[in-house]
A and B are shown apart, each in its own frame.
Chain A
Amino acid sequence: MAIVKRKELSIGEKLYLPAIFRGLSMTFRQMFKKRVTRQYPEEPLPVNEVTRGQPRLAVNDDGTIRCVSCGLCEAACPAYAITIDGQETDRFIEREPERFDIDMLRCILCGFCEEACPKDAILMSDELELADFSREALIYDVERLKRPVSQLRPRLDYVYKVNERW
């Protein structure tokens, strides 16, 4: 059995008042220090090319969509968030999506679609904010998902850099 020896307190310590004043001065000084809270809507989260935000469809500089509706991302998606219907096109790539829906309520931002895509057509953007008033509004169609490839270029470069390692 262990016997705990308590330290004898001096009279100054028994009064507790000096300790209380020390504590009060401590908290008073804290009040003027820099605040650590992020004022979120005014002060957004820092994003860079590593940020794995919501998936977006890349659009070439001439305004044509890169996607050939091969369905690999649809198959890779673990949450079954992607629905694709393909159609023929006169362009060299011969196929393009007629319908490309991502249900953002199901999407788990895992990035498997980006990995599966053979055409670098679907990429994880740095867009993170997802809020709306109805479930229907959160099923994004092609028009909502399109982004010019120049905007997604940093992410594209990053994906290539990471894949080179393997």
Chain B
Amino acid sequence: MDMLISVLVILAKITCIFGGVITLAALTTLAERKVSAWIQFRHGPNRVGPWGILQPLADGVKFIYKEELVPDGANQVMFYLAPAMVAMPAMMGIAVLPFAAVSPLYQDTGPLAIANLDLSVLFILAFSGLSIYGVILGGWASNSKFSLLGALRASAQMISYELALLLSVAAILLMAGSANLVDIANDQQGSIFNWYIWKQPLAFLLFLIATFAETNRHPFDFAECEPELVAGFHTEYSSMRFALFFLGEYCAIIVMCAMTCTFFLGGFHVPFWADAPWFVQAGMFLAKICFFLFLFIWVRWTLPRFRFDQLMGLGWKTFLPLALLNLFVTGALVAAGVY
């Protein structure tokens, strides 16, 4: 009986959290178009449903009806697998995101997350690193020079920026003394000044910029890079396979935003209200995520794209030394017992 209940609880959590995040990803595509429209004095999609809210649904239906093209000379197996290999790791990250300190479900102890792993930070970072395989394979299997160039750039960029990302996270892990997202969030409970953003401003900046590169977003979207590479690694993709790339990209952005919130903005904790009920905490978490999603879109429609050598120079010559310095200083301070 207990077994059955725990299985049901897990299933309920998976349905709600996974469904919620996928819906949020769909709405982000709408928000992307809306915000870009507003910045350019346009209205954006407003024909499908009130305020265009059903546009993602209409897009989905359109994608299903589109023809699935496979280019000549493409590696069939890899070409089919690549979109799933991008989407799956991005979605895996959702599993460990904590949405509230205490789960409201029956007989469920612990935080409101599908899985409360002790190494959840490592879990997310490992899977976000894996998603690059899908990009490389998709670009290579397409048998197109644009796709291959996009994939090559994506992989080079991933390696350069993953380092800065991990090193800035390592400073946070040192301070929290745990690699569990729940512990990290709990460490920032209470006042707004307990947030790590005040203690680790440099790590915050490095992490934020590295997430832009990690998720292939502007100004670092060299994997796609429309003016140079048509559409980069997904040039040859159409129909639902293209949609899957898209979904994976937006899921990765949401997971990265959730990570940023948890590391630097107190995660699901409501400022000055330590024992808020679970729905307030989940709402707070979503609000913080939405702020960062808006930031991602906002930056995309503000900044021009980097040049590729500038990107590499920034990653290796600026971000890596700064992240290392930050890690050493934090380590020394933690060892000296200042934090």
Q: Which of A20, A27, A39 contacts B39 (CB 8 A)?
A: A27
Query: Which stretch, B54-62, B224-232, B294-302, touches the partner chain A?
Result: B294-302
**B145 at interface (Cβ–Cβ under 8 A)?**
no
Q: Mark A8-33, 1 if CB is under 8 A from B, else 0.
A: 00000000000010011011101101
Q: Count of chain B residues with Cβ under 8 Å from any Cβ of A? A: 12
Q: Are B39 and A23 in contact (CB under 8 A)?
A: no
Q: Count of chain A residues with Cβ under 8 Å from any Cβ of B? A: 14
**A36 at interface (Cβ–Cβ under 8 A)?**
yes
A-B contact count (CB 8 A): 32
Measured CB to CB, the closest approach of chain B to A26, in angstroms, equals: 7
Residue of A nearest to B295 (CB): A24
Residue of B nearest to A20 (CB): B303
Q: Are B302 and A31 in contact (CB under 8 A)?
A: no
Q: Which of B42, B43, B301 contacts A27 (CB 8 A)?
A: B301
Q: Are A31 and B38 in contact (CB under 8 A)?
A: yes
Q: Mark A36-62, 1 if CB is under 8 A from B, else 0.
A: 110100000000000000000000000
Q: How far is the CA of A156 from the CA of B42 in the complex (A)?
A: 38
Q: How far is the CA of A30 from the CA of B38 in the complex (A)?
A: 7
Measured CB to CB, the closest approach of chain A to B291, in angstroms, equals: 13
Q: How far is the CA of A80 from the CA of B42 in the complex (A)?
A: 41
Instruction: Give A residues with C-beta under 8 Å from B.
Output: 20, 23-24, 26-28, 30-31, 33-37, 39
Instruction: Give B residues with C-beta under 8 Å from A.
Output: 35, 38-43, 298-299, 301-303
6 closest pairs, A vs B, by CB? A31-B38, A27-B302, A36-B41, A23-B302, A27-B39, A37-B42
Since A20-B302, A36-B41, A37-B43 are in contact, a sample of 5 more A-B pairs with Cβ atoms closer than 8 Å, ordered by chain A residue number, is A24-B298, A24-B302, A27-B302, A35-B43, A36-B42
